[in-house]
Amino acid sequence: MAMLKAGDKAPDFSLTDQNGDTVKLSQFKGGKLLVYFYPKADTSGCVKQACSIRDAAPDFGGLSVAAVGISPDKPDKQKKFDAKYSLGFPLLSDVDNSVAKAFGAWGEKKMYGKTYEGIIRSAFLIDENSVILNVWYKVSPADTASNVMKALS
């Protein structure tokens, strides 16, 4: 998949969140949006990443930045993840990986000598007009929120 860069138009999406509601990119027009992709709900790296975003929510709100997380998990698993850690932001289900592919967040990975396809942990800061301001591919779970804060300071 082609990787996106700053200045590109963000790919449109319409996905189901942990509550069964449809969430679209267009709902966030007029404010900034952090879209981040994570491999699997309630795994150590994904917990660290989601909780750092949850903890940054007051700062994000002051900067008019909303956040959504996207993974291949089904909405019921996302709901348990949200409830367990009181995340409080939309976790979107991309079971066919179509949105991850559109963002360039799906591709070849290697673990324990095996090659497979999966989510490339990535984050995108999108402006009020759906234009990408910043891109972080292979982002560290601990750095997602702080990267956004640095980009906006």
Q: Among all residues, which ones are annotated catalytic? A: 46
DSSP symbols for 82-108: HHHHT--S-EEE-TT-HHHHHTT-EEE
Dist CA 149 CA 131 (whole Å)? 18
Query: Residue 10: what residue type?
Result: A
Asked whether 119 and 49 are in contact (CB, 8 A), the reply is no
H helix or E strand, kind and range, residue 75: helix 75-85
